[in-house]
Chain A
Amino acid sequence: MKNIFSLIFLISLAVLQWGCTKSFKDLNTDPYALTQEQLKANNANVSAYFSTAQQNLIENGPWLTQLDNFYGDNFIGYVYPPSSFRGNQYPCTFFNQDGWQDGLWGNAYDNVMKQTHLIINNARAVTPATDATNTQIYIAKIVRVAGMHLVADGWGPIIYTKYAQPSADGSYSYDTQKDVYTAFFADLDTAITGLTALEGGTSTFGNLDMIYSGNLKQWVKAANSIRLRLGLRLTRIDPTTSKSEVQKALSHPDGVITDNADNMHVYFNSQLGGGFVQVSRDWTDERLGADFETILTGYKDPRLALFFSPSTDATVGPIMKGIREGADIAAKGDYVGYSAVNVAVFGQNPSSWTGDLNVITAAEVNESLAEVSLRGWLAGSYNKTPQEYYEAGIKAHFDMYGISSTDYNTYIAGTTLPVSYKDPKKSAHNIDSVNRVPVKYNAAGTNEYQLQQIMTQKWIALFPNGKEAWSEWRRTGYPKVFPNYLNYSGGTISTADGARRIFKFALGEYQNNANGVKTAITALGGADVGGTHVWWDPAGNTSNF
């Protein structure tokens, strides 16, 4: 009797419990989180991903900026860390540090690829399709190409056309770099064609459009300019496609960005933009590089003093002094007094950390046009000489920083050569200059000589976008930079070859997409080490024409 009671008691409680679990689904829904349903209001599920995508087109924030310094900025001599991380055994000395480059990979996938994927997918789901949502799809495609080509250029094969499309075994396959480039051009085709037809309207991203505030014509110009950049990238591997893509960009009625007013840049009014200043001033982990110092000093380039501050090290004196690439640094204190980034330019108001990240500017595009002109590939309304575009590029860059025309006129007439590098702290770092071309354009020079001049100015104009400058250096070999003093690559990167050629695939991919990485290595066509060349940078081919 008693036990029966207990049983009844227990069963009735159990029944009661079952009844109460109905609310569990509600309880397990985070009340302050978003559901996709909520995001659908006013199509926010399309627009709300746009801010993040734009802000991450170029690595921002101190940590990613520092990674950029390690992977790109230092390879082509813009900056160098005084911090002798890990006893000098780190990426700047070609040491493979597994995991470090993953931050750059992850940032692009989490914040550009994912966000643009969501914009495109969610916009497609809006029915009926409207001009507004179509515009958003086109702009997202441009942003995706602008962000992801930096990844493709660094790693070679990437996950692009099969993004969010798992293979039967759950892995995600990589595209060859060639296929990725084809897909980039196709994306740009779709976007340019679509936006050109809608140019009378404005982008429905509205004030979320941090780049062009909804001006569609400027977006088309930007897309054309990116096509020009990517087209030129193929000069060595596929000159035919290269030429046709370049001409396609130039033939479009809207043309490319030749005026600073059309520059594609992301302006931040937030902490995000201050990375460059934070790494240099606050972390003291970034100083002027020897190449930037010697070339700009030789040129008496007024931009050097804008971008960097004089050394504060008593043994150096108040001059511009950079650190040799791959320097052997015993202790951080030794080099921390070398030239730091000029806070006045890169963090205009220290209390607001504002910053401006340039994606593609008139200065770069003009230098590209100089090369196109040199190659005789001009099309559309573009018909100037290489020298005219070369000087227009310098002018555009001087104008960006408010440097006077007088200074400009003096500068372009400059015949001085880059100076040799001298390290007051360690004479073993000393090295004679290698990029021996002056500023003054030599239209009578060989094609290679003219290209070296053009690429040197493009390199200055790209500062501090080290990854793009690194790609252009790999493509053309210009400007010539100092070989690394230390090379801890264990033989996988040749010092004579000048720099690392690729990034190693992400550790997380090796762990969680192992079959995918196998497709990547096949697509790469070489070992996954720093010395392997990407598709558009064929090893052994050193001629540009």
Chain B
Amino acid sequence: MHLKAICKPLKQGFLTKTLLVMKLTTILLLAACMQVQASAFSQTVTFSGRNVSLETVFSTINKQTGYIVFCDYGLIKDAKKVTIHAKDASVESIMNEALKDQPLSYEIVNKTIVISRKLIVAGALAANAADMPPPVDIKGRVTNEKGEPVPAATVAVKGSNKITATNDNGEFELKGISNNATLIITSVGFDRQEVKLSGQAVVNVQLKLQAALNEVVITALGVQRKAKSLTYSTEEVKGAALTAVPETNVMNALQGKVSGLNVFRGSGGAGGSVNVVIRGSKSFGNNQPLYVIDGIPFQNNSPTQPAGIYNGAALPDAGDNLSQINSEDIESVTVLKGASASALYGSQGQNGVVLITTKKGRAGAVTVDYAVNYNRDTRAYGPKLQYTYPQTSAGANYSWGTTKGSYKNIEGDFFVPGNTWTHSISLRGGDATRNSYLSYSNTNASNIYPNSNYNKNTFDIRQSNTYLGGKLTADANVLFTEQHYKNPLSPGLYNNPITGLYLFPRGLDFSQYKKNYEVFNTGKNYSLQNWWNIDWIANPSGGGGDDNQQNPFWILNRDVFTQKTDKVYGSLALKYVFTDWLNLQLRGNIDKEYRTLQSKLSSGTQTVLADPLGKYKLFKYDNQQVYGDAILTLNKKFGDLGLTALAGTSIQSIDNYSQHFEGPLVLANVFAISNIRYANLTTEEHEYRKKKEAVFGGVNLSWRDMLFLDMTARNDWSSALAYPLSTTPTQSYFYPSFGLSAVMNEVMKLPDYVQLWKLRASYAIVGNDFDPYQTYNYSYFSGNQNSVYGGGNAPYPGTALHPEKSNSIELGTEFRMMNDLFGFDFTWFKINTKDQLVTTPAPAGQPFSYYLINAGNIQNTGIELSINATPIKTRDFKWDIYATLYVVKNIVKEFNGKDNFVHAIAGADNGNMTYFGIKQGLPFPTFFGKKFVRDSKDGMILIDTGANLGKPLYTLYSADTTGLGTPIPKAVIGFRNTLNFGRLSFSFLVDGRIGGNVMDVTQAILDEYGVSKASADARDHASTFLPVKGKYVGGGTVTAIDPKTWYGAVASRAGLAEYYMYSATNIRLREVSLAYSVRPDIISAKTHNVIKGLSFGLNARNLFFFYKKANFDPDIAVGTTNGNQGYNAFTAPATRSVGGSIKVSF
């Protein structure tokens, strides 16, 4: 292939420039591909010409060397003709000669010569090389006003392309620069500073903190905006605050650090998924926010979630994609809380957006950072069990014996300390045009029970290059993660090791079941489960036993669940700056993920949970997301009026394919699809396909930098709204947002110590689509059963489904004073989410089971307050406080026009203690369940007499119309303190949730079995046991109730829900960390400059509660879906974690 110099006579203008950029991009890519081929060309040029045009010279260079010369024809059409005679000259010398007296300069990038107008600068570059002063080498250090080092500050030499960045100690080095050069030092959050050299070899620079007014924040789509121009609330958390106390899923580290955000931890332990809810649950469907990595939406799949207390048929929490991110790769996390902030993301941003900005390479010498963390987890809060009363009678399930004794506490025989090791290493470096960030991390964690572990390897390659003299920026990122996950604890009654542990009849010998969880069966020639009530000799057909307990060690060794996930994520972002006020950005990514989940249930497993010869379940997922967007941004001032505008389009295509095979085995314990009995083989094949296209635009007008008007508009087209079998009502939805803000300290005269007082207001409408294939009725076919299944759902006859709609209003104010020694940010919001997609049972009179309708109106009103304060600040000591408060009131304003019915939501199980329902006038979701019957006058609980003496009267849960509370807290507080004593930094986070209710199914079952401490205490004081204030039905105060009668009536998996409801209010010391960094000059001197930085840290998480009512950690949910929050059903116990870390820089 032969490339010509492309100096074509083009009319210089807007359109042509755009085309040029596109062409340029293509050519750059081509050029990169052609490098190997280009090496066949000569590296030198031979040229002889008199008064020839530059075009001729460039053409010759191209022919002889393969170098492409790139320029705007306008630049060279009037250039002077040149005379050059050269033999075997370098490209550079020919170019120097050709452009000697021209107002042009050039740059060679990857065999591409880019011609640009020569910069006329105060520096010395324009001068003749002969006039240049001798080059010098300089060193320096950049600090802030407190003298602390500023890492990652950019140090550039004005007028040249020499550039570097400071290391973690704020130090930099520049070689071979002019001794009177001017250095430009920039760093995020600081004012830009220029330093003119005058021969010195050491340059120490102190940067000034940027005035609050000019701070830049990242907003939707990755657009950087001045903080003061925002009309809505955002909040940022720096990466360092997320890694100080490590978490395997980094989102867990957000709890208490952002107001308006609440994290519910899944039950899976290390690597488990999280449920993040911003400004309360708003949708009957999904309430998770959109996650965005470097501007590109990130698919957060969580393929399996536990389903209620009978989870045995399903699978444990298989984790989500967020857990695959290496927290050390994160630069910062910004939370866009309201719809106004996220309006540009469209429907996906309805629940708020979590923007994750990852680390980039930085200019300067290569730095290598290595960090190692070790954490040791121990069981923090288990249920209180009894070891004083024995099994009711030989062979009985219960431990309701009455003769007091003393039995061994067996919890210690099962729980072990969990260990988490995380190693991460990263390399960063680059120059003015090329920056790289490479990282690798490994996390290896074991849970607090045996044979359960989690292993993760991540690779991240980030390359940021600039071309065309800084006009074109390319940013590429490739992330590869592989993850293995074994035996996360499955909550609920089935296949859960802790049920057997807790319920084990007191007085039997646990050690023999620990020692031999299986015994060899000579008839079968393999080993079968050994458990106190499972006996394969006496019951050869099924072993016997109960569905809700097995040998814990059998479950972990012979009913093994594993997951393996590989993820590749690649993205490329190109940004071309036309002028200082106009740029175009093109971005795209491909996100690929492969997951394999396997559940291997061995023969000998209790027969409810697996078939007698064993059961095999295999799930395969092949998920893909392709995303692309183009955004044109304009930023210009017209006198007092400033205009920022953007227009763009995006396309997102999701294609998630899955397969599922499941069935009983033919040969015992051979876990292969081919060994599943065909007649009972369950197969499923699904593909979730959805494509969304959008155009959007936004305008932000400012007047004198004091008044701002913000408007956005977006139109989405979603394939999920298409009607394949009928006419299309609409596939498109439009929604706008408006916002206003005023910087009051500019509007009016305020005391000097007030840096910022801002008022803001915004209103936004966001639409939301739903999952694909909802707009028509479809069913599946089972070949081996020769039958049609599914097909029970359909849109309500005669109606078309339309997108759900959320309206939100937000008012806020922001205040900062005394150089940020004190500041606060306050927001009030009201969000109404209407027309949600609801599945409602269809009448029996027609061939559908469920109808899909648009219904409902959930209203969330609340406030958010964050306060930062620095009570003490001296030269060596500083105390910073960051406090957050978030109060939300959630209510279902309307549901389907039917006031008196409680609609069960997904995951609700009518056979159990309670269920989650939706009812007008109550919060979403609300627990409904059985309640005590109370005397209408004095409120005393009514206790039955006669045959039921001692049993409380209770109402049905179907009769419950007022509910038993909601798991959603009324308020969430966070109180983070950082104390700096020179190089020692100490920080702690206290956080709390106020209000909300949780239910403890575990306690109800432990009481039923007589293994809870409560049941022993009751027996200890049987003659005075009075669990509630009650009176007999016929009258008469109750003075004592027989413990066994009482628990027989209220306990069990279908117990009296009201008795097992607890306040979810809790306040805890969530995080503590202590870090010390060794003085860099000392460490460098001692290691001969090999080690440049060294720091040590100690950390602890979940140390203790200041206040807690529930018997378990109320933050932990059975699963992350709407129906699986707020109750404990043998979920893994909460852990307390203590650890340390070492960070070294080379």
When the two chains form their complex, are residues A331 and B1048 in contact, meaning their CB atoms are under 8 A apart? yes
A239 interfacial by beta-carbon distance below 8 Å = no
When the two chains form their complex, are residues B841 and A511 in contact, meaning their CB atoms are under 8 A apart? yes
Please report which residues of chain A, range 22-73, place their CB below 8 angstroms from some CB of chain B when the two chains form the complex. 23-35, 39, 48-52
Q: Which of B393, B612, B695, B954 has the most A CB atoms < 10 Å from its CB?
A: B695
Please report which residues of chain A, range 165-179, place their CB below 8 angstroms from some CB of chain B when the two chains form the complex. 165-166, 170-173
Closest 9 CB pairs between A and B? Answer: A172-B845, A513-B843, A98-B958, A24-B722, A33-B778, A508-B841, A87-B1049, A51-B787, A24-B719
When the two chains form their complex, are residues A17 and B693 in contact, meaning their CB atoms are under 8 A apart? yes
**Cα distance A86–B1008 in the bound complex, in angstroms:** 11
Contacts of A24 in B (CB 8 A): 691, 717-719, 721-722, 731
Q: What residue of chain A has the Cβ atom nearest to residue B846's Cβ?
A: A164
When the two chains form their complex, are residues A21 and B845 in contact, meaning their CB atoms are under 8 A apart? no
Please report which residues of chain A, range 138-183, place their CB below 8 angstroms from some CB of chain B when the two chains form the complex. 159, 162-166, 170-173
Stretch in contact with the other chain, from A104-112, A258-266, A289-297, A392-400: A104-112
When the two chains form their complex, are residues A283 and B608 in contact, meaning their CB atoms are under 8 A apart? yes
Contacts of B930 in A (CB 8 A): 86
A401 interfacial by beta-carbon distance below 8 Å = no
When the two chains form their complex, are residues B849 and A106 in contact, meaning their CB atoms are under 8 A apart? yes
When the two chains form their complex, are residues A6 and B634 in contact, meaning their CB atoms are under 8 A apart? yes
Which one of B790, B947, B954 contacts A33 once the chains associate, using CB atoms below 8 Å? B790
Q: Using an 8 Å CB-CB cutoff, how does the interface string of A417-455 with B read, 1 for contact, 0 for none?
A: 000000000001000000000000000000000000000
**Cα distance A506–B958 in the bound complex, in angstroms:** 12
A129 interfacial by beta-carbon distance below 8 Å = no
Contacts of B542 in A (CB 8 A): 281-282, 343, 350
A197 interfacial by beta-carbon distance below 8 Å = no
Total CB contacts across the A-B interface at under 8 A = 246
> Given known contacts A172-B843, A270-B785, is B689 in contact with A32 (CB within 8 Å)?
no
Contacts of A282 in B (CB 8 A): 542, 547, 606-608
When the two chains form their complex, are residues A28 and B773 in contact, meaning their CB atoms are under 8 A apart? yes
Q: What residue of chain A has the Cβ atom nearest to residue B582's Cβ?
A: A2
B898 interfacial by beta-carbon distance below 8 Å = yes
When the two chains form their complex, are residues A330 and B843 in contact, meaning their CB atoms are under 8 A apart? no
Shortest CB-to-CB span from B691 to chain A, Å, is 5
Contacts of A164 in B (CB 8 A): 845-847
Q: What residue of chain A has the Cβ atom nearest to residue B18's Cβ?
A: A5
Which one of B15, B392, B664, B841 contacts A333 once the chains associate, using CB atoms below 8 Å? B392
Q: What residue of chain A has the Cβ atom nearest to residue B690's Cβ?
A: A27
B: residues with CB less than 8 A from A are 14-15, 392-398, 400, 541-542, 544, 546-547, 582, 606-608, 611-613, 630, 632, 634, 645, 647, 649, 651, 664, 677, 679-680, 685-687, 689-691, 693-695, 697, 715, 717-724, 728, 731-732, 772-773, 775-776, 778-781, 785-792, 797, 840-847, 849, 851, 898, 901, 903, 910-911, 930, 947-948, 951, 954, 956, 958-959, 1008, 1044-1045, 1048-1050, 1052, 1054, 1056
**Cα distance A173–B1056 in the bound complex, in angstroms:** 37
When the two chains form their complex, are residues A110 and B691 in contact, meaning their CB atoms are under 8 A apart? no
**Cα distance A9–B647 in the bound complex, in angstroms:** 8
New contact pairs (5) apart from A24-B719, A28-B689, A331-B400, CB-CB < 8 Å: A21-B732, A27-B722, A99-B910, A314-B395, A337-B395
Contacts of A171 in B (CB 8 A): 843, 845
A20 interfacial by beta-carbon distance below 8 Å = yes
When the two chains form their complex, are residues A32 and B687 in contact, meaning their CB atoms are under 8 A apart? yes
A527 interfacial by beta-carbon distance below 8 Å = no
When the two chains form their complex, are residues A32 and B845 in contact, meaning their CB atoms are under 8 A apart? no
Please report which residues of chain A, range 240-296, place their CB below 8 angstroms from some CB of chain B when the two chains form the complex. 269-271, 278, 281-284
Contacts of A85 in B (CB 8 A): 1054
> Given known contacts A24-B722, A39-B788, A164-B846, is B649 in contact with A17 (CB within 8 Å)?
yes
Shortest CB-to-CB span from B894 to chain A, Å, is 16
When the two chains form their complex, are residues B547 and A17 in contact, meaning their CB atoms are under 8 A apart? no
A496 interfacial by beta-carbon distance below 8 Å = no
**Cα distance A48–B788 in the bound complex, in angstroms:** 6
When the two chains form their complex, are residues A162 and B724 in contact, meaning their CB atoms are under 8 A apart? no
Contacts of A5 in B (CB 8 A): 14-15
Q: Which of A113, A162, A333 has the most B CB atoms < 10 Å from its CB?
A: A333
**Cα distance A31–B841 in the bound complex, in angstroms:** 26
When the two chains form their complex, are residues A27 and B689 in contact, meaning their CB atoms are under 8 A apart? yes
A497 interfacial by beta-carbon distance below 8 Å = no
When the two chains form their complex, are residues B731 and A21 in contact, meaning their CB atoms are under 8 A apart? yes
Chain A interface size, as a band, is: 35 or more
A328 interfacial by beta-carbon distance below 8 Å = yes
**Cα distance A403–B772 in the bound complex, in angstroms:** 58
Q: Using an 8 Å CB-CB cutoff, how does the interface string of A1-15 with B read, 1 for contact, 0 for none?
A: 110011001100110
When the two chains form their complex, are residues A270 and B951 in contact, meaning their CB atoms are under 8 A apart? no
When the two chains form their complex, are residues A333 and B397 in contact, meaning their CB atoms are under 8 A apart? yes
A486 interfacial by beta-carbon distance below 8 Å = yes
Contacts of A303 in B (CB 8 A): none
When the two chains form their complex, are residues B632 and A6 in contact, meaning their CB atoms are under 8 A apart? yes
When the two chains form their complex, are residues B647 and A31 in contact, meaning their CB atoms are under 8 A apart? no
A300 interfacial by beta-carbon distance below 8 Å = no
A507 interfacial by beta-carbon distance below 8 Å = yes
A407 interfacial by beta-carbon distance below 8 Å = no
**Cα distance A1–B14 in the bound complex, in angstroms:** 9
Q: What residue of chain A has the Cβ atom nearest to residue B785's Cβ?
A: A51
Q: List 24 A-B contacts (CB under 8 A).
A: A9-B632, A10-B697, A20-B693, A26-B724, A29-B724, A30-B773, A48-B786, A49-B788, A52-B789, A109-B844, A110-B849, A165-B845, A270-B785, A282-B542, A328-B947, A331-B392, A331-B400, A332-B397, A333-B392, A350-B607, A353-B611, A428-B947, A507-B958, A516-B845
**Cα distance A5–B634 in the bound complex, in angstroms:** 12
Q: Which of A163, A165, A332 has the most B CB atoms < 10 Å from its CB?
A: A332
Q: What residue of chain A has the Cβ atom nearest to residue B545's Cβ?
A: A282
A307 interfacial by beta-carbon distance below 8 Å = no
**Cα distance A96–B957 in the bound complex, in angstroms:** 11
Q: What residue of chain A has the Cβ atom nearest to residue B782's Cβ?
A: A51
Contacts of A29 in B (CB 8 A): 724, 773, 776, 778
Contacts of A9 in B (CB 8 A): 632, 647
**Cα distance A85–B1054 in the bound complex, in angstroms:** 7
Which one of A21, A27, A50, A110 contacts B792 once the chains associate, using CB atoms below 8 Å? A110
**Cα distance A100–B910 in the bound complex, in angstroms:** 8
**Cα distance A283–B397 in the bound complex, in angstroms:** 13
When the two chains form their complex, are residues B847 and A351 in contact, meaning their CB atoms are under 8 A apart? no
**Cα distance A191–B728 in the bound complex, in angstroms:** 42
Which one of B613, B645, B846 contacts A351 once the chains associate, using CB atoms below 8 Å? B613
Shortest CB-to-CB span from B376 to chain A, Å, is 40
A114 interfacial by beta-carbon distance below 8 Å = yes
When the two chains form their complex, are residues B731 and A118 in contact, meaning their CB atoms are under 8 A apart? no
**Cα distance A20–B732 in the bound complex, in angstroms:** 12
Q: What residue of chain B has the Cβ atom nearest to residue A172's Cβ?
A: B845
A208 interfacial by beta-carbon distance below 8 Å = yes
Shortest CB-to-CB span from A142 to chain B, Å, is 19
Shortest CB-to-CB span from A100 to chain B, Å, is 7
Q: Using an 8 Å CB-CB cutoff, how does the interface string of A331-374 with B read, 1 for contact, 0 for none?
A: 11100110000011001001111000000000000000000000
A456 interfacial by beta-carbon distance below 8 Å = no
Shortest CB-to-CB span from B615 to chain A, Å, is 11
When the two chains form their complex, are residues A159 and B687 in contact, meaning their CB atoms are under 8 A apart? no
When the two chains form their complex, are residues B843 and A516 in contact, meaning their CB atoms are under 8 A apart? yes
Contacts of B723 in A (CB 8 A): 25, 28
Which one of B14, B664, B691, B778 contacts A35 once the chains associate, using CB atoms below 8 Å? B778
Contacts of A52 in B (CB 8 A): 787-789
> Given known contacts A6-B645, A34-B778, is B691 in contact with A23 (CB within 8 Å)?
yes
Shortest CB-to-CB span from A11 to chain B, Å, is 9
Which one of A172, A283, A331, A337 contacts B1044 once the chains associate, using CB atoms below 8 Å? A331
Shortest CB-to-CB span from A278 to chain B, Å, is 7
> Given known contacts A28-B775, A270-B679, is B846 in contact with A166 (CB within 8 Å)?
yes
**Cα distance A117–B845 in the bound complex, in angstroms:** 11
**Cα distance A283–B724 in the bound complex, in angstroms:** 45
When the two chains form their complex, are residues B956 and A98 in contact, meaning their CB atoms are under 8 A apart? yes
Q: What residue of chain A has the Cβ atom nearest to residue B952's Cβ?
A: A87
When the two chains form their complex, are residues B691 and A27 in contact, meaning their CB atoms are under 8 A apart? yes
Shortest CB-to-CB span from A83 to chain B, Å, is 9
